[in-house]
Structure 1
């Protein structure tokens, strides 16, 4: 692969996972399949924005949305193989950030402790 072939792929990757909250949503789903309200409770994000990000991740093939025909209807989100492949990237960013990023703990929810 030519180095010029890599740039558009890298840029698209960064555009996808670099959106606000997307990395943390993926991090949350690394724990396993979860319902919307569980993800929403774990992250300091509005329901509207969480819904938007989950739809984007579903369109990219990173998140799977499963609807279970129960009463009431149960909807569960999980990472696809494509999404699970991001685990090493997320963990590497986690390690990098612990070394290089000085984070104001007042701006980060304690539930996000990595």
Structure 2
């Protein structure tokens, strides 16, 4: 006998919105992409800059930026041969992620001192 609950629940958001949020969360779920996002929140940088800072190769940085760009978290601007990236200011997710990082750092510091 299978259990069939007598509950009627509807999903409060449409599938398109859920997919969009899942895409955003996926983009920031990787520590390397998250560090790139944090750097871009501080300063506009190109792929070469990011490669020098992280010591990752150019194709790896480009792939990470592509995912962040496709998620709508970063924007790009061409200047000559270089494309510069920066964060999109309209996303509260970016602010929430940095708040979580700050909170995590503060709680780790207090845990270490105990």
Runs of 5+ in structure 1 lacking a partner? 102-114
Runs of 5+ in structure 2 lacking a partner? 1-8, 110-114
Change (3 A) 1:21 1:80: same
- After superposition, the CA RMSD in angstroms is 3.0
TM alignment of 1:22-101, pairs within 5 A: 22-68=33-79, 70=80, 73-82=81-90, 85-100=93-108
Equivalent pairs counted in the alignment come to: 96
Q: Deviations over 1:13-72 (max 9, x none)?
A: 43221024111010110112112121122224332211101011111111112112x3xx
> TM-score under structure 1 normalisation?
0.64
Q: Shift of residue 86 of structure 1?
A: 0.5
Partners of 2:70 and 2:45 in 1: how far apart?
18
Q: Which of 1 and 2 has greater Rg?
A: 2
Deviates more, 1:34-43 or 1:90-99: 90-99
Point out which structure has higher relative CO (alpha carbons under 8 A, 6+ apart). 1
1:61 and 1:82 in contact (8 A); partners too? no
Partners of 2:66 and 2:52 in 1: how far apart?
18
